[in-house]
Amino acid sequence: MAIATAAGDIARDVITELSQVPGLATQIYASGRILQFVQDAYSFEIVDQWWPDYMHYFNVAVDGTTGMLTQDLKGPISTINRYEDIAAVWPEWDNRRLRALPTGINPHTLVGKYQMMYMGPDATVEARPMKVWPRESVGNIIIWARQHSEIPMSVASKIWLDRLLMTYDAAWMYCVDDGTVPAQVQKYQMLAAKRRQQLLAMNAQQPIELDPRFPSFSDPSMGWFTVSNTPLA
């Protein structure tokens, strides 16, 4: 896992970027707003992508009577409390994802102990935000889900998103509110967009298997796709 950055350190970077007097203690009026902008920047960026540093795999058993999870989804960064933070779910023995339960299907008509078919939200127990249909399904499931930094943030709160992206985002938000130098607003907007583009490209540099049903173990160059590093990519 990548090294986390304290929210207060990002706020100090923003203060330096904006050519203010360095230090949270000297920026009595600006520091609170800048820390809020850091939190806002995190809140916007975290849901934009499935950022690798925040993702975690869980191996969880399913209750064969209710279809509910039998344990909390507690990762190294946080617990998973929201259904929308679940990126994918697989039966432990299968490579096919469970599908979201359509609103046009009566889930109580689904029966079968060994036929995990659908997943849906469930708020019965905290940190167990989903359940499986049919309810009589048995076995374990693999959940790939997104964790979160703590909200509201303090200066000590840890952020695993890119430090430079957070700095540019927060600096842009501050400049927009200040509104005294239009060129500065455009500058940080462009820098944030460029840094975001760089991060997405870096996350796509690992070989991507084109068809997981037919892995090419004999020839690593077959059945894989890698994003080009050239300027024309």
Residues 60 and 108 in one domain: yes
What is the per-residue pLDDT for 181? 81
Query: Which uninterrupted H or E stretch holds 183?
Result: helix 182-203
Domain-located, residue 34: yes
Asked if residue 82 is part of any domain, the answer here is yes
Q: What is the pLDDT of residue 26?
A: 47
pLDDT for the residue 112: 76
Tell me if 152 is assigned to some domain.
no
Tell me, yes or no, whether 11 and 85 share the same domain.
no
Residue 87 within any structural domain of the chain: yes
For the stretch 140-174, pLDDT in tens is: 999 999 999 999 999 999 999 999 999 999 999 99
Q: What is the pLDDT of residues 218-229, one digit of tens each?
A: 455 555 555 554
Whether residue 44 is found in the same domain as residue 63: no
pLDDT of res. 231 = 42
Same domain, 32 and 11: yes
Instruction: Please report whether residue 226 resides in a domain.
Output: no
- 18/63 same-domain check: no
pTM for the full predicted model: 0.83
In a domain, 229, yes or no: no
Same-domain check for residues 179 and 132: no
User: In this structure, is residue 59 part of a structural domain?
Assistant: yes
Question: What mean pLDDT is predicted for residues 120-144?
Answer: 95
177: in domain: yes
Q: How confident is the model at residue 25 (pLDDT cuts 50, 70, 90)?
A: very low
- Residues of the domain holding 73: 54-146
Tell me the CB-side half-sphere exposure of residue 223, using CA atoms within 13 A: 11
Whether 37 and 62 share a structural domain: no
CA 139 vs. chain centroid, Å, equals 27
137 & 58 share domain: yes
Whether residues 68 and 134 share a domain: the answer is yes
Residues 92 and 31 in one domain: no
Structure confidence at residue 178 as a pLDDT band (50, 70, 90): confident
Residue pLDDT, tens place only, 40-50: 999 999 999 99
Residues 6+ apart with CB under 8 A from 105: 118
Q: Are residues 45 and 32 in the same domain?
A: yes
Domain identity same for 72 and 44: no
Q: Is the confidence at residue 232, as pLDDT, over 80?
A: no
Total domain count, the chain = 2
Ramachandran bin of 232, using left for φ above 0, alpha for ψ from -120 to 50, beta for the remaining angles: alpha
